[in-house]
Structure 1
């Protein structure tokens, strides 16, 4: 199954695919860093929990990452 990238616009369907916990972790941290979000120790704990705890899937992480990307992008 192809992996949908982090959406750059409104999410109308669940992003598809399987992305391992470590890869989700890396991608979410990259989006937060790109957006200029400074992370504290607890922030890192939550990123860890979100991306590595059982039950979290790519659709959830990709949607949250999409929110971060879109929040930092001015509307046309």
Structure 2
């Protein structure tokens, strides 16, 4: 799991753990986590991509958000490992 609570491997149960005490991150924090994940994965975003990412961060519950964000992160990592 990353410092942001995003799983780094296959997920067998809903990821309800978030490292900050007192609950889950705000939609602004989730949007920042998602932007950082895209940046680290080398994903270039257009205006509509940004709009959908903001929407997703606002409306996805934590388990869904963490799972989808984990897919992006793991796909980027798998691509890096394949390039070696």
TM-score by length of 1: 0.83
Deviation at 1:69, TM superposition (A): 0.8
- For 1:2-35, what per-residue CA distance to the aligned partner results, in whole angstroms no more than 9, with x for missing partners? xx71011011111114221111111011000000
- Cα deviation per residue 1:42-74 (whole Å; 9 max; x = unaligned)? 000100110113xx2111111111000110113
1:49 is aligned to 55
Compare the two structures and name the one with the higher helix fraction.
2
Larger radius of gyration: 2
Taking the aligned partners of 1:13 and 1:28, their CA distance within structure 2 comes to 21
Q: TM-score, normalised by structure 2?
A: 0.76
Q: Which runs of 5+ in 2 are unaligned?
A: 19-23
Matched, 1:27 2:33: yes
